[in-house]
Structure 1
Amino acid sequence: MVRGETTADIRKESENSDEATKFLRLRMAINCTDRDIVYEKKVHSNYWVLVNYVPAEHGSLRCSVFITYTTHGDYRYLNNVAPLVERWRAPISLALYAPGTDFNKTVSSILWLRQCDPQRKLIRKWVSFHIYFNANHIPRQVYNQQILLAKQIKCTKVPPFANVSSDELYRKQMELKYPINVGRNIAKEAALTHYVLSSDIELYPSPGLVNGFLLMLAANMHLLNSTRPLVFPLNIFEVSANSTVPTTKKELKYKLKTGQAIPFHRDIAPQFNIAPNLKKWIQHVDYSDTMRVFCVNKRIGYWDPIYIGTKQDPVYDETLSWEGMSDKATHSFALCLMGYRFHTLDNAFLVHRPGINQGYLDDERLRLAAHIRRKLRRQLLIEYFYKYGFQLGCIL
């Protein structure tokens, strides 16, 4: 033992060495190509996309030893970026829908986050912002990227995304539907890593999820060689408006016991959101906090999980909008038809930003949702059977 070196120091050094060895094995086993962040203008369906318009500053990274949180939104939801990146601390790929006059407010909001937010250093390091808009709703002015990145704003002003109602949005005034799955696909396509968590911007991950997941994979290399395609769902919860977001499963269990937390959309649409074996997952105690696979299932019923997967998993159906709901239904159906197995993770979870959803929906959205459900069963069901084949037990 070197003078001044404690047993704890030696143990920590040994653990770090062991972790590095595991990550090296993992890097060699995952077949992916490292890429740099590149800004590009491209056409995606009926949309113009500015990919990496405001890029993260993390520099080069290994595609095999990070996970990218891919997500979407409009500028009203950018108040979620700081708490999200603080818990994730890894690449985030965010696609923002900004047609017409929403573009300027979106850009101003991004600059405020990068220059003024208390978490601005983490935001600049990890978050890449992509902007997309309809080809027939182009903003009046699109800034040159270099000019935009050099622009300075006053941090004394209120954030442009603060207290914005939906009625103020250009897309609402022009009666444009929110193309949620276009955003999901753009963000996922722009990710530089092999593994991605395609999620919604208001869902906050438990801290340490990235490192814990990769160490779990490194300890279970057989999962990389599975003959069946697989993904890793995360159980999702809601907490009351005056509650903090739990960071560990132990803390989450306490909030569930005291009524401060509930399973996600328990009282609204449990058939789509309540995972198989959720009660057992909640009751199970693992004081090590080590991430592991809790259970393995096929897709059951109408369950639409959010999961860690890869960029090779199916894309989301861009004919579906947020207003019509059911926007993840065909994606989950495709996974079922393709024989995916769902390896639900323990000691890892997602929590919606504080405030339990009361489930109010206006009549117009309910009518549209009913129309979309008819479309799913009369048209898309047959299309997906033709595309992926028939599997007993898979429903849409």
Structure 2
Amino acid sequence: MSIICAKIVLVLCILLVYLAFQWLGYNIKNDSSHINIAKVKPRGHIRQNGDYWVWNNYIIADDVFIGNESITLATHASYEDLVYLPELLTTWGGPISISIFVCGTDFEKTIDSLRYIYTCLTMRFYMKRYLTIHLIFHDQHVPEIMKSMKMHELANYKHCKLDPAFQNTSWTQSYWRRRKLNYPRNLLRNVARINIFTYYVLSIDIHMLPTPDFPKKFLKFIRNHDTWRFADIPEPYTSVFCLPVFPIHLWDFVPKDKLQLRKLQVTRLSRRQKRWLDAPNPYDEVFIYEISKETDFCVVYVSINELEPLYDEQDENGSILEEDTNLKCQFLVDLKYNFIVLDGVFLIEHILWRKWTILNSRRRKKRALKSIRRRYIWHRFYTKVISLVPDEFAQLWNTRLRSSWQRRLKDG
């Protein structure tokens, strides 16, 4: 009798152990299903890139946007250009990745400028939620005082009694201009792009200003005009979405939509800009204006970040506004990209900033002529890369887009 009882107890113990392991495995699986690896906040790290040091993710935004949850705006600046940052933060309404050039004493002026914007201009909500900052400096001009910071540590009301470093600055006050250093704008652009997690990116210069709530408008457009339902967007992985650029003076009223832009009576427009401006859009919706293989009406665009070529970092003076130095767009033409011009959204360009940037245009033209060989090498390389894109990529990308929005609707 005792032997039978012992066997029964042994069987029950084995059964309990089995059920315990089953319960533990279920909990581990259930918990891991709620963990999104891409949502883990990135850490700051420093790496060397040629003659420059790059401090990736120096200050990281609280919210991490991935996939089609938003669009990231990638831009670059020195501390002088941070005067444009407050309006950009409030107008964009989404994640911003900015690379700042901080050689020598420019590091301290950059931190002071960020403190002023964060504390005195009450931008803390936008900066904490959306802004991620990266720092770049030359290895021969390392800042004397460097320290790691978090966004909330920028709060300092003592700076409100003084004028910010970016206000009323002359052309020769910055460290890198006094030392006649090159401004590595293409490296800055690439660093801002590499450190984002959304599918789409809009890479612009900081003096440009998009229409309000652009991320929401563009994502709505993508959901309604994808190639798998309407065939409006041919070859999405080799297509970019172009935004017309209109110059205005710094003191002019900033238009919020196409109707206000017409009333502003912008001068010095090309024929294509005038036709775009005159085209009716009564509901202020985003739709396709035209599709082209040329870039004469496309200097700024939204692209899939993972598939669009990066900028050539050897070309430190490349401009996105001047055709003779914009090698990036020439690469895209060689790769047979589709340039889809959008209606209902546009960019504003501050004229004063552009006048400063073209002072050395002759030198940039000379460098552009010497870049023919690099253009040929890029063409060969990216032609092979595009050929490796799997045929099922478009359908897979569409599935991820739909599941992302279904998950958001379910959570909401």
In structure 2, the CA distance between the partners of 1:240 and 1:234, relative to structure 1 (3 Å rule), is: same
Structure 2 counterpart of 1:307: 301
2:140 is aligned to 136
Q: Distance in 2 between the 1:146 and 1:87 partners?
A: 24
Q: Indicate the residue corresponding to 2:76 in structure 1.
A: 72
* 1:349 equivalenced with 2:343 (yes/no): no
**Residue in structure 2 matching 1:249, options 258, 261, 274:** 258
Indicate the SS of the match to 1:166.
Answer: coil
Task: Specify the SS of the correspondent of 2:89.
Answer: helix
C-alpha distance in structure 1 between counterparts of 2:342 and 2:318, whole Å: 30
- Structure 1 position 143, deviation (Å): 0.6
TM-score (norm 1): 0.78
Alignment partner, residue 332 of structure 2: 335
Q: Which residue of the other structure, out of 262, 265, 270, is the alignment partner of 2:267? A: 262
Listed as ranges, the gaps of 5+ residues in structure 2 are 1-36, 385-412
Letter in 1 for 2:294: R
Cα displacement string for residues 207-239 of structure 1 (whole angstroms, at most 9, x for unaligned residues): 121111100100112167836610101000112
1:202 aligns with 2:196: no
How big is the alpha-carbon RMSD for the aligned residues of Structure 1 and Structure 2?
Answer: 2.9
Give the Cα–Cα distance (whole angstroms) in 2 for the partners of residues 359 and 135 of structure 1: 26
- Gaps of at least 5 residues in structure 1 are 1-31, 267-273, 391-396
Contact 1:234/1:348 (<8 A) preserved = yes
Q: CA 1:148–1:104 in 2, change beyond 3 Å: closer, same or farther?
A: farther
Q: CA deviation at 1:382?
A: 3.6
Rounded to whole Å, the distance in 1 between the matches of 2:354 and 2:335 is 33
Deviations, residues 182-230 of structure 1 (Å, cap 9, x unaligned): 1100011112211110001010001121111100100112167836610
Identify if the C-alpha distance between structure 1 residues 108 and 228 changes in structure 2 by more than 3 Å, giving closer, same or farther. Answer: closer
Q: 1:157 to 1:64 in 2, by over 3 A?
A: same
Following superposition, the deviation at residue 367 of structure 1 comes to 4.1
Where do residues 278-317 of structure 1 align in structure 2 (5 Å cutoff)?
278-300=273-295, 305-312=299-306, 313-317=308-312
Q: Whose Rg is larger?
A: 2
Code of the aligned partner of 2:371: L
Q: Which residue type is aligned with residue 321 of structure 1?
A: E
Find out whether 1:212 has 2:207 as its counterpart.
no
Query: Structure 1 residues 146 and 281 mapped into 2: Cα distance closer, same or farther (>3 Å)?
Result: closer
1:156 aligns with 2:153: no
Question: 1-side partners of 2:362 and 2:294: how far apart?
Answer: 27
| Aligned counterparts of 1:150 and 1:308: Cα–Cα separation in 2 | 31
- Tell me the TM-score normalized by structure 2: 0.75
Matched, 1:368 2:363: yes
Superposed displacement of residue 44, structure 1: 2.8
Which residue of 85, 88, 91 maps to 1:84? 88
Could you say which residue in structure 2 is the equivalent of 1:26?
none
Q: Which structure has more helix as a fraction of its residues?
A: 2
Report the AA paired with residue 47 of structure 1.
Answer: Y
- What residue is the counterpart of 1:171 in the other structure? 176
* Maintained 8 Å contact 1:34/1:192: no
Q: Deviations over 1:309-364 (max 9, x none)?
A: 121210001111238876962211111111110111110000023758568955xx
Offset at 1:79? 0.8
Q: Determine if contact 1:228/1:341 at 8 Å carries over to the other structure.
A: no
Q: 1:357 to 1:201 in 2, by over 3 A?
A: closer
SS of corresponding position for 1:197: strand
Q: Give the deviation of 1:136 after TM superposition.
A: 2.2
Q: For the Cα contact (< 8 Å) 1:181–1:327, is it kept in 2?
A: no
Distance 2:58 2:101 in 1: 13
Shift of 1:150: 6.3
* Cα distance in structure 2, aligned partners of 1:140 and 1:103: 9
SS at match of 1:168: coil
Q: CA deviation at 1:153?
A: 4.7
Q: How far is the alpha carbon of 1:131 from its aligned partner?
A: 0.8
Q: Cα offset for 1:371?
A: 2.0
Separation of aligned partners in 2, 1:308 and 1:381: 22
Q: Which runs of 4+ in 1 moved over 4 A?
A: 32-35, 323-328, 354-362
Q: Provide the rounded CA distance (Å) in 2 between the counterparts of 1:353 and 1:147.
A: 28
1:187 corresponds in structure 2 to 192
Contact 2:242 2:339 in 1 (8 A): yes
* Cα distance in 2 between the residues matched to 1:60 and 1:357: 32
